[in-house]
């Protein structure tokens, strides 16, 4: 079983996603996220996050699952050509 990515790894991944999607990333010590016309991603330092992509949504799910599903959906709807490299576990 792999170790979930650390908070700093997840923040770096969200920053890379924001750069690829050409959107502004919100990042502070407790929350990071990004949003566009029809998508939103928000992660919390406490370990739970949420995302929406068009009609799909996850609410208060583990951060690593939220990022994984968000990336998968973004690839499916054509916003990303390929998933960015996942951060290593701790």
Q: Is 84 inside any structural domain?
A: no
Number of domains comprising the chain: 1
Q: Which of 89, 72, 88 is nearest to 80 (CA)?
A: 72
Q: Which domain holds residue 48?
A: 7-76
Q: Tell me: the pLDDT tens digits for 21-62?
A: 999 999 889 999 999 988 999 999 999 999 998 888 999 999
Question: Which residues, in sequence order, are bridge partners of residue 27?
Answer: 32
Q: Is 2 inside any structural domain?
A: no
Q: Is 43 inside any structural domain?
A: yes
Residue 86, pLDDT above cutoff 70: no
């Amino acid at each position: 079983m792999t170790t979930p990515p650390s908070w700093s790894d997840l923040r770096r991944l969200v920053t890379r996603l924001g750069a690829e999607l050409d959107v502004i990333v919100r990042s502070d010590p407790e929350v990071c996220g990004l949003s566009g016309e029809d998508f939103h991603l928000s992660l919390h330092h406490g370990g739970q996050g949420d995302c929406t992509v068009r009609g799909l949504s996850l609410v208060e799910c583990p951060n690593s699952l939220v990022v994984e599903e968000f990336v998968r959906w973004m690839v499916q709807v054509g916003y990303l050509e390929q998933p960015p490299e996942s951060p290593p576990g701790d």
